Amino acid sequence: MIFVSVKNTNFNNFISMIENRTFDLRQNVMIKEHNKSVNSDIVIIAIDDATYEYILDKYGEWPLPRDVYAKLVDYIEMQHPKSIAFDLMFVKSMKSNAKADQMLIDMMKKYDNVFVSMNLDDQSPDLRTPPVLPEDLSIGLENKSANVSFDLQTYTNCRKILDGILNYSSNIGMINVTRADDGILRKMPVLVKYQDKYYPQLGLKVGMDYLNIKPKKLVIDAHSNLILGDRKIYLDKDGSAILNWYGPHETYEYIPMYKVIQILNGKHPDIGLDFNNKIVYFGTTASSLFDIKTVPSSKIYPGVEIQATYVNNIIDNNFIRRLDRSFTIFFGVLLAIITICIVMNESSAFVGSLAAFSVYLLYVFGTYYAMKYFNLWIDIIYPLLLAIITFISAYIVKYLIKSRDFEQQYMLATTDGLTDLYNHRYFQEQMRMMVDASKRYETSFSLIILDIDFFKKFNDTFGHQAGDAVLRQVAQTLKKNIRSTDIACRYGGEEMSIILPKTDHEVALFTANKICARVSSKDFRLPNGRETSVTISLGVSTFPVDGQTAEELIEAADKRLYNAKNNGRNQVGE
């Protein structure tokens, strides 16, 4: 009911936001426990704040002239790195420094392990005509999953990088990102779509190069897994991979780029940098260069380290797999069933509550360890929400049942089983309460006591079963001829009584005479099918005229009842 009612509502979005935060919390706890370590084969050459200041002092401008990057690549390539990746977009130079741009282009032609980035967007064609990209930048895709769609990763325009790179190198990856509604980046697309073609992410290309995987087309199986050799990367419904985070920013080996530039220029001693067989990422970390994002492990996280995390997940096969909604429903129903069993079988509300919430706590710990050891994201909020609603509902039902049982027990304790009138004990309690209330508020009430005439003789003649039938039918006649506020009781044997709240003597006499007439005119059916008639004698007393206590009022009504019997029966005694 919950899953159906909240579908496509703001409430569902709110719950999803909280669920995302539970993912962040689990990730941060794992980071603090130091159970995850980054891959030592990934090195980041950072354009940090110090490097940005150095560039402005030495070169007088940003962006940095492209020939500097070419020289840096030549220096790093001497140590035979696995690959070099630029989380930088080499778009057309603002100052048209063609010579520096050409050095960068020549560098790309020289090395086949250098990767650069580009970005797709939805810019208006009035501002920028959507370019046609080279065929070898795209990759084929066979999507066998009914759950994965790239609609949210489809773009209408592209900001081209230098034509010399674009037309020569296929080592160009996209750097589009995916943020949740709360602005936090938890996952990254594996592919983006443009002009009906699929283009791999930069991190995906770098990771496949590291693993020597060079497919002609990518395959997504029926279970939403992207197949990369012997690896399976689970994709969310928008075609993104959920990243497993390794720590706050600067988790990887960071080398400020200005130090490498100084080594090239002979103004800094060689500090023994080791790039052999490593992935070397270039990217900005300076806050003034605006490539800072918020991720589960940090509010300030450089884009280049997101790329490094992406590649790290590919190499270590360490992406997070989120279990689909059917598992969420299963765990929710399971917690609900356990909750019902606890609540209904535990007599103590405190112990039952403690046991139920202990189960919920165990479930939360279970989801944490599932992520820690198996990279599984099991939803917490919806199952707990269902369990807590079940917990509340179960206790409401339980106490309604208890209340009904109490009412039933109370009815059994206060009601005569034969006539369904209140019993003698209840009559005495009500009389005392009525006296106290009438004294406090200075009101009157009346009492009628009645007796079935010749009832002993009737029993001797027709039998006790017939007598019981007559008692029941007389009691029903009383109920039908009194007010809802009046209290009809079985006083004992064949005697019955009626308490009439806020009733004076005249009204009570009228009621007594009406009941007397109704009984005498009624035909009473006996168990053998025969019918007979009976009569009753009645006595009436009224507070405070006839007494100040319950005993005095009962005695007064009783005397008038016997006067009725002595004066011929079938009447109200004076």
In tens, the pLDDT along 176-188 reads 998 888 899 999 9
Please check whether residue 547 is in contact with residue 555, taking contact to mean a CB–CB distance below 8 angstroms.
yes
> Which pairing describes strands 154-155 and 298-302: parallel, antiparallel, or unpaired?
unpaired
In tens, the pLDDT along 480-525 reads 999 999 999 999 889 999 999 999 999 999 999 999 999 999 999 9
Bond prior to 256 in cis (omega within 30° of 0): no
Angle, alpha carbons 230-235-236 (nearest 5°)? 165
pLDDT of residue 105: 93
Predicted confidence band of residue 347 (pLDDT cuts 50, 70, 90):
confident
**Higher-confidence position of 344 and 44:** 44
346, pLDDT greater than 60: yes
72, pLDDT greater than 60: yes
1, pLDDT greater than 60: no
Q: What is the model's pTM?
A: 0.73
7, pLDDT greater than 70: no
Q: What is the dihedral of CA 462, 464, 466, 470, to 10 degrees?
A: 120
CA dihedral sign, ordered 464, 467, 473, 474? negative
Q: CA nearest 311: which of 88, 84, 153? A: 84
Q: CA nearest 328: which of 293, 361, 281, 367? A: 367
pLDDT of residue 276: 94
- For residue 65, give the DSSP letter: P
CA dihedral sign, ordered 223, 225, 226, 227? negative
CA dihedral sign, ordered 265, 268, 274, 280? negative
**Cβ neighbours of residue 408 under 8 Å, at least 6 residues apart?**
none
Q: Distance of CA 308 to CAs 77, 86, 420, Å? A: 19, 11, 82
Taking residues 188-197, report their average pLDDT.
96
In tens, the pLDDT along 440-491 reads 999 999 999 999 999 999 998 889 999 999 999 999 999 999 999 999 999 9
The helix (H) or strand (E) run that includes residue 364 is helix 349-374
Predicted confidence band of residue 388 (pLDDT cuts 50, 70, 90):
very high
Q: CA nearest 82: which of 114, 110, 104? A: 114
